[in-house]
C-alpha cells in the first residue's frame, strides 16, 4: 500500500492505496463517490471524467497514486459550482440525458468546454465532445444544452 495525500472535492484526504488501484476505483470504492461511472475502463468513453488540478482526466486510466498532491474534483464536488449548476439546468431543459450513465462525465467535460470557449458554436462543442460517448441521446440535446449555457453566460453582464 502507498500513502497518498490529496485534496478531494475541497477536503484534504490522507489515504492508503494499492499502487495498481485506479483513481476511479479509489473514488468509487475507497471514498464511496459513486457518481464517477465506469463505461469502458480503457479511457475511451469518458464516463469517468473528473477534474485533476482543474483539468479533465479519465479516472479509469489514471492511477490513484498519481493523484498524490493533486486537487481532485468529482461530480459530487461540483454540486454548488456555478458553471455546473447552469449546465445542469440546460441539460434538464434540452433533454440532454436519457439513462443518465454518461451524464456525470458529460457535465465535467461540458464545464471544461465552457471554461475554454466562451459561447461555443455547435461545431466547437461537437469537436470538444468527441471523447465522450453517449449511447442514448444522439448528442443533440447535449450539444444544445452546452450551446445554450454558453450563450447565457455570454449574455450575462460581467
Partner 1 sequence: MAETKPAPGDWIGASLLRREDARFLIGKGQFVADIRLPGLEDACFVRSPMGHASLRGLRRPAEWAERVYTHDELGPFQALPAGPDIPGYRNVAYPVLATDRVCFAGQPIAAVVAPTRGEAEDIAGLVELDLDALPAVTDAVLAMAPDSPRIHDAWPDNAFITSGARAGDAAAVAATAPVRITRRLRMNRQSIVPLEGRAALAYWDHRLDELVVYLSTQGAHVMRLGIAQALGISEHKVHVIAPDVGGGFGGKNRLTPEEIAVCALALKRGHPVRWIEDRREHLMAAPQAREHVYDLTLYADRDGTMLALEGDVYIDAGAYPLWPTGAFAEASMAVRNLTGPYRIRHIALRNHTVATNKPPMGPYRGVARPGACFAMERLADELARELGLEPIEIRRRNMVTAGEMPYVTAAGMRLDNGDYPASLDEAARSIGLDAIRARQRTGEPDGRRIGVGFAFYTEQSGHGLKEWARRGARVMPSYETCTVRMLPDGSAQVLVGIQNHGQGLETTLSQIAAQELRLDPARIAVRHGDTAVSPFGFGTFASRSTVFAGGAVARSCRILAEKIRRIGGHLIQTDPVETRLEDGHVVGPSGAAVSFAEIGRAAHVRQEMMPPGVDPVLEATATYEPADSSGTFSYSTHAALVAVDPLTGGTELLDYVVAEDCGTMVNPLIVDGQVTGGVIQGIGTALYEEVPYDESGQPLATTFADYHMPCATEMPRVRISHFVTPSAITEYGIKGMGEGGAIAPPAAIANALADAFRDSGAQFNETPCTPRRVVAALEAAEVPT
| Helices 140-155/82-93 angle, 10° precision | 130
Cβ(69)–Cβ(6) below 8 Å: yes
Shortest distance, position 66 Cβ to partner 1, whole Å: 17
113 contacts partner 1 (rule: CB under 8 A): no
Sequential DSSP letters for 100-140: -SSHHHHHHHHHHHHHHSSS--HHHHHHHTTT---SSSTTH
Task: Pick the stretch among 6-14, 42-50, 63-71, 148-156 that binds partner 1 (CB under 8 A).
Answer: 42-50
Task: Pick the stretch among 5-13, 51-59, 70-78, 147-155 that binds partner 1 (CB under 8 A).
Answer: 70-78
Place of cell 454540486: 79
Cα–Cα distance for residue pair 59/43, rounded to 1 Å: 8
Q: Which of 23, 51, 57, 102 lies at the binding interface for partner 1 (CB under 8 A)? A: 102
The residues of the shown chain that bind partner 1, judged by CB under 8 A, are 18, 20-21, 28-29, 32-42, 44-45, 47, 74-76, 79, 88, 91-93, 95, 97-104, 107, 122, 125-127, 129-143
Amino acid at each position: 500500500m502507498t500513502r497518498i495525500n490529496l485534496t478531494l472535492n475541497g477536503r484534504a484526504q490522507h489515504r492508503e492505496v494499492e499502487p495498481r488501484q485506479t483513481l476511479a476505483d479509489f473514488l468509487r470504492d475507497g471514498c464511496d463517490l459513486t457518481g464517477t461511472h465506469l463505461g469502458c475502463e480503457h479511457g475511451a468513453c469518458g464516463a469517468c471524467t473528473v477534474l485533476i488540478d482543474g483539468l479533465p482526466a479519465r479516472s479509469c486510466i489514471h492511477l490513484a497514486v498519481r493523484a498524490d498532491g493533486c486537487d481532485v474534483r468529482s461530480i459530487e464536488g461540483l454540486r454548488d459550482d456555478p458553471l455546473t449548476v447552469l449546465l445542469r439546468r440546460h441539460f434538464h431543459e434540452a433533454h440532454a440525458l436519457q439513462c443518465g450513465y454518461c451524464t456525470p462525465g458529460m457535465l465535467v467535460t461540458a464545464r471544461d468546454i465552457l471554461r475554454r470557449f466562451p459561447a461555443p458554436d455547435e461545431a466547437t462543442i461537437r469537436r470538444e465532445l468527441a471523447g465522450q460517448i453517449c449511447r442514448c441521446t444522439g448528442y443533440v440535446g447535449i450539444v444544445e444544452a452546452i450551446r445554450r449555457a454558453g450563450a447565457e453566460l455570454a449574455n450575462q453582464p460581467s
